[in-house]
Amino acid sequence: MWLPDRRTFLISLAALAGCGFTPVYGPQGGGGQLLNAVALPEPDRRYTYDFNARFEERLGRASGPYMLNRSIDVTSNGLGSLADGQTTRYQLTGRATYSLGFVGSEEVLISGQTDAFTGYSATGSTAATQAAERDARRRLMVILADQVIDRLLLDADMLPQ
């Protein structure tokens, strides 16, 4: 039977401390200044609403001091088909381009883009296919929002104090 060894644990902690590891929400981490501090533009489509909902779920709803400008593009491609040409599977590919700056300022503090994809089956009824597509779009927005948040947190130490 394997028993944890306290020495291994302490050596692991020392190795992490020696490599410059800093928790993003820790006292020296930059992630704390993004909590409840990033405002988002109003959603204009259902999938941008889903993006905003996930973003606010993780970082909180705020009216500033930061503003995240984002552009989201989603494309759909048929992947599988039957002998009669009917498409049975679709892939949704999304790209989120973002820039973080101060509210009311044109200065960009952090910017980047991220890509993700998801898929859904179109073999059921029309209602089932539409529900599957809505769910795939929602999952795609959750993935993109998580990736944008992760990149913002990684670059948060570059933000002015």
**Residue 114 has what pLDDT?**
97
- Domain topology for 28-158: Double Stranded RNA Binding Domain (3.30.160)
C-alpha dist (Å) from residue 12 to 4, 21, 156: 12, 12, 26
Cis check: omega of the bond before 65, within 30 degrees of 0: yes
Collapsed DSSP state (helix, strand, coil) of residue 43: coil
pLDDT by residue for the chain (161 residues), tens only, comes to 555 667 777 676 666 555 666 676 666 667 778 889 999 999 999 999 999 999 999 999 887 799 999 999 999 999 887 888 788 899 999 999 999 999 988 999 999 999 999 999 998 899 999 999 999 999 999 999 999 999 999 998 888 87
**Residue 20 has what pLDDT?**
65
DSSP H or E segment with residue 150: helix 126-155
Non-local CB neighbours of 110 within 8 Å, separated by 6+ positions: 99, 100, 151, 152, 155, 156, 158, 159
Name the residue ranges covered by the structural domains of the chain: 28-158
Give the whole-angstrom CA distance, residue 107 versus residue 105: 5
Collapsed DSSP state (helix, strand, coil) of residue 35: coil
Give the whole-angstrom CA distance, residue 34 versus residue 65: 9
**Residue 98 has what pLDDT?**
97
| The amino acid at 111 | S
